[in-house]
Structure 1
Amino acid sequence: METKEIMLVCAAGMSTSLMVTKMQNAAQERDLAAKIFAVPVPEAKEYLAQHSVDVLLLGPQVRYLLDGFKEDYPEIPAEVIPMTDYGMMKGDKVLDLAVSLMNG
């Protein structure tokens, strides 16, 4: 099975790095091959210019950028991480969201 790339976009990266860890743990438990990583907003477009990702998740603090990402990268499924799941660090729920977006 090919490794899926899940990119989280955040303001600074502190709490999102914890979410990445929680999501990686959930992926391991499910035997899901996934590269899950977070980048701050200023680096997101730079990364996407050089790499392809399977899904793009935005932290609630940068939800206002969603329409722009969808417009600039229509081929990449994108969504905002629900505030409740983000606040409670529910990596399994956020991974569910990523998988459902990839399965379209």
Structure 2
Amino acid sequence: MDKIRILLCCGAGMSSGFLAQQMRIAAKKMNVVAKIEAKNKNSVQDDVNAIDLLLLGPHLEYVKAEMTQLCEPYHVPVIVIPKEMYAGLDGKGLMELSMEAIKKNKGEFNHG
């Protein structure tokens, strides 16, 4: 798999920064080449054409439909981070969830 690009979003882009760091550590241990960034939700429109997955903080569940509509033309899946992964800074678990979503999306896009 080529380098994967994941964007984590929270309100201001700060709280997700800690989780992004944990995901980078997990990706390295999994031998996955990944660019994982944390930004605020207002930057999604600028980055949507250059990402493979959009992760939303649990407190942003209310914008999932809007973000899905924005990301759909670019075939970018949108996932709300499970609260327990977010609160526990579970980079490994979130990296595994992300890889599964990206692989599933690529399969659907290639065969769909």
The residue matched to 2:50 in structure 1 has which SS?
coil
Q: Distance in 2 between matches of 1:19 and 1:102?
A: 18
Q: Distance in 2 between matches of 1:46 and 1:91?
A: 25
The residue number in structure 1 matching 2:61 is 63
The TM-score, its normalising length taken from structure 2, stands at 0.85
AA paired with 1:65? Answer: V
CA RMSD of aligned residues (A): 1.1
AA paired with 1:101? Answer: A
Determine if contact 2:55/2:80 at 8 Å carries over to the other structure. yes
Determine if contact 1:60/1:86 at 8 Å carries over to the other structure. yes
The residue number in structure 1 matching 2:101 is 101
1:30 aligned onto 2:30: yes
Q: Distance in 2 between matches of 1:39 and 1:45?
A: 11
Q: Distance in 2 between matches of 1:97 and 1:65?
A: 20
Unaligned stretches of 5+ residues in structure 2 = 105-112
Q: How many residues align?
A: 102
The residue number in structure 1 matching 2:70 is 72
Quote how far apart the aligned CAs of 1:28 are: 0.5
The residue matched to 1:2 in structure 2 has which SS?
coil
Structure 1 consecutive aligned stretches of length 4 or more whose deviation exceeds 4 Å: none
Determine if contact 1:56/1:78 at 8 Å carries over to the other structure. yes
AA paired with 2:63? Answer: L
Q: Distance in 2 between matches of 1:33 and 1:82?
A: 23
Q: Which has the higher helix share?
A: 2
For residues 33-48 of structure 1, the aligned pairs below 5 Å read 33-48=33-48
Unaligned stretches of 5+ residues in structure 1 = none
AA paired with 2:8? Answer: L
Q: Distance in 1 between matches of 2:47 and 2:76?
A: 13
Q: Distance in 2 between matches of 1:10 and 1:45?
A: 14
